[in-house]
Amino acid sequence: MATNTQTSSPSIEVVILAAGKGTRMRSKLPKVLHPLAGKPLLQHVLDTASELNPKGLHVVVGHQAERVQETIGSSVNWAEQLEQLGTGHAVQQAMPGVDDDSVVLVLYGDVPMVSLNTLERCVASAAAGHLGLVTADFDDPAQLGRIIRNGAGAIQEIVEFKDANPEQVAIKEINSGIMALNGGVLTRLLSQVKTDNAQGEYYLTDVIALAVANNIEVQGLKAERPEEVTGVNDRLQLAELERVYQMDRAKELMQVGVTLADPSRIDVRGSVEAGQDCFIDANVIFVGDVVLGSGVQIASGCVITDSVLGDNVQVHANTLVEGAQVAAECSLGPFARIRPGSDLATGVKIGNFVELKKSKLGAGSKASHLTYIGDATIGADCNIGAGTVTCNYDGINKHQTQIGDRVFVGTNSTLVAPVEINQDAFVAAGSTITSNVPDETLAVGRGKQRNIPGWVRPDRRKTKS
């Protein structure tokens, strides 16, 4: 009786080249650490490659290797290229840690926008016994390596710009540098690469012609769009890719029902999950993981960081929200600062020039203007008057302010923590509260006023000539 056997897919090993200095960036920061959408270029590549569930992630470093390693951390295997002898030499530095039976995928730390779909196609080509090579058509290929095909359309080799003749320079199809191949075969081909070229370097691209000579089919895989394989060599290219990246995020938001006042003026430096019928005005920045309910309105100049905003929340102009949980129907700002640990129940109103830190406000409570609330728990339906300050810090420790439901705190009050103001209490304007206030009690903590009759305003002092 015949039996069905399943051949398991080979494991994937990813090698990312990140050793270059990036001279054209004109920066003390290694090129691969320059941020795109708030995240290092190299981290973008690592995050996409990680979605392939590889057996190993190998990063080849050189210039400022320690700084790159400190920034990225210990989640990858590091290999160091002590001498800059070319891309082929760089890949060789990682190969001792790579399984010969695996598919090796070669990526670049300064090519941050390659898609998972493209990488999957490249790996699948290598798993089928080919050399998978990602190419793209550029209107202006500039100094990128050109793809050379034969009369039948098969890829024969890659010619670097400096080694290309005029006919080859006219070719629009370029080599992205991204390729996948069996690990053992790649090791063998790399050992045959020579330095007989204009730069005297070991070109990884020479592996293509060597593969053809060894009867290994080179399968060209077109990238979905040129930006996907565009590298960053200077700050102009970085800025151009930033806009491409942000427009992609803007399109994703509009496709799920968000209205953007100007899609070209929104920055997403993390992820945004949004419900329907949200409106986001110009120059809004999202950082980290942000969740917006339905009907959220965010005015211009706001920065929302690692926060959840419930349905129909309104964030008025120039308000900062960080690390906060904001329930439905709340109103924030303008010019408010909601700091980490803030938890606002339904219908809370935080007005202009109000700062919250690590505080909880109950449903319907409001602090409409010019107030600092820190390390406080405030009940429902409270009114915190203008100029109120919770004095939570004694110079060494932070202390709590506890306020019950339906408390009214008058203008310009100072609440010296630790202190409790119980439900239905009333704090008179201008009071300094240093002890607990019972339920349904009026607290007055003012200095006694004196009126001095017959007071004469002093004359302005005469200045000596």
Q: Which residues are catalytic?
A: 369
**Residues in Cβ contact with 7 at an 8 Å cutoff, skipping those fewer than 6 apart:** none
Terminal CA-to-CA distance of the chain, rounded, Å? 119
Q: Which two tokens stand for residue 454?
A: 């017959």
